[in-house]
Amino acid sequence: MGKDAIKIRGLYAFIDAAYVDLSGAGDAAAGLLSGGARIVQLRAKDVAPRDILVAARAVREATERSGALFIVNDRADIAMIAGADGVHLGQDDPDVEEVRGLLGPEGIIGLSTHDVKEAVEAETLGADYISLGPIFPTRTKKDAQTPRGLTMLSEVRSAVRLPIVAIGGITRENMEEVFKAGADSVAIISGILMERDIKARVASIVSMIDRPGAY
């Protein structure tokens, strides 16, 4: 999938090992995708690389069938081996320029940011998109920073041209104000993965985002 075809918009879905047993990563991906998700990130903190790779291959197979974008969190090596579309980096991971040397010009690189300074730096370094958060208080990351709020989101939107994925405490009920503040995409994790019917939950979120004139 070339970069010209990549659109970081709408729902940014996750398969997070904190909520999903990685042995079922392929099934989880199928549920997300059948519900209408077009971007899926695999996030597996403190998991053996071999297990992450097995899960990544299963997710890659599912996203290839649907034509969706597949991103691996942190691990550029696993992204390359599994044939993912790209990798999402944190502020403490290898820098964007180093990872670009591994993935090449077609690889998608996202970078987590928390303020205007980090967002501008990400754009300067050549990231393809950024995440910004946490926007609201979140239970997904125990080490999450202080909520940034909608004002910060608007400030970052004014400072960079990169697509922005808003993350942290976002729900069906508050995502409209997040989009209006400048997000191109919203990451909803526990609000999807803790549901019994992932497909139905995703479908309800995607239908809200995609309805004519929504945001």
Active site residues: 43, 112, 141
**Among 41, 36, 67, which residue's Cα sits nearest to residue 207?**
36
187: left (phi over 0), alpha (psi -120 to 50) or beta: beta
> What is the C-alpha to C-alpha distance for residues 10 and 48, in angstroms, rounded to an integer?
31
Count of CB atoms within 10 A of residue 62's CB? 23
Q: What is the DSSP letter of 168?
A: S
The helix or strand, by DSSP H or E, that contains position 135, with its residue range, turns out to be none
Under DSSP, the state recorded for 204 is: H
What string of H, E and C letters represents the secondary structure of 63-122?
HHHHCCEEEEECCHHHHHHHCCCEEEECCCCCCHHHHHHHHCCCCEEEEEECCHHHHHHH
- Cβ proximity of 136 and 150 under 8 Å: no
In 133-177, where do the E strands start and end? 164-167
Q: Provide the CA 126 distance to its chain's centre, in angstroms.
A: 17
